[in-house]
């Protein structure tokens, strides 16, 4: 397995993988080709893909503010799970953030997602049960 930066040429495969992993994908809004191309241009190192024989089998999108780094939209192809792909993507995402001076790594995980909760725990993340995620969206596509 090789982890490398994704480019906009990977867009269709990324969409396919998110859909296979049942993660939300908003092609008319923030996940449009144009929106993603712009994000990739601004932060090319934030889009990481795991490849096996040149086939995209996993991906994660990194983001950060001035203090915290976020691991978003982590997904692994169902046919390639339980082989450490996610663990490797998390390690590479953390390294990317470390290079930006970030030392706090975070992920938002839905309550039902036992696999993801266990994965992040295994990677050293601590759950905060006393925090409520609060957000405001200006549309369904953002």
Ligand X SMILES: CC(C)(COP(=O)(O)OP(=O)(O)OC[C@H]1O[C@@H](n2cnc3c(N)ncnc32)[C@H](O)[C@@H]1OP(=O)(O)O)[C@@H](O)C(=O)NCCC(=O)NCCS
Residues in contact with ligand X by the rule CB under 6 A: 21, 23, 74-76, 81-87, 107, 109, 113-116, 118-119, 122
Q: Hunting for tokens 């990194």 — which residue is that?
A: 62
Between 63 and 116, name the residue whose CB sits nearer to ligand X: 116
Residues whose CB is less than 8 angstroms from the CB of residue 122 and which lie 6 or more positions away in sequence, other chains included: 87
CB 41 to ligand X: min, Å: 25
Task: List the structure tokens of 34.
Answer: 């144009």
Phi-psi region of 84 (alpha: psi -120 to 50; beta: other; left: phi over 0): left
CA-based nearest residue to 100, from 60, 44, 59, 49: 44
CB 113 to ligand X: min, Å: 5
CA-based nearest residue to 115, from 42, 35, 22, 51: 22
Between 36 and 76, name the residue whose CB sits nearer to ligand X: 76
Q: SS3 for 49?
A: strand
CB 85 to ligand X: min, Å: 4
CB 6 to ligand X: min, Å: 16
């Amino acid at each position: 397995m090789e982890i490398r930066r994704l480019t906009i040429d990977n867009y269709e495969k990324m969409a396919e993988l998110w859909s296979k992993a049942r993660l939300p994908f908003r092609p008319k809004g923030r996940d449009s080709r144009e929106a993603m191309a712009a994000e990739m241009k601004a932060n090319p190192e934030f889009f990481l893909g795991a490849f096996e024989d040149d086939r995209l089998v996993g991906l994660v999108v990194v983001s950060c503010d001035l203090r915290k780094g976020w691991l978003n939209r982590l997904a692994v192809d169902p046919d390639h799970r339980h082989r450490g792909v996610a663990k490797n993507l998390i390690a590479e995402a953390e390294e990317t953030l470390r290079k930006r001076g970030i030392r706090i790594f975070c992920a938002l995980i839905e309550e039902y997602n036992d696999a993801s909760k266990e994965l992040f725990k295994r990677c050293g993340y601590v759950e905060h049960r006393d925090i409520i995620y609060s957000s405001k969206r200006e549309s369904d596509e953002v």
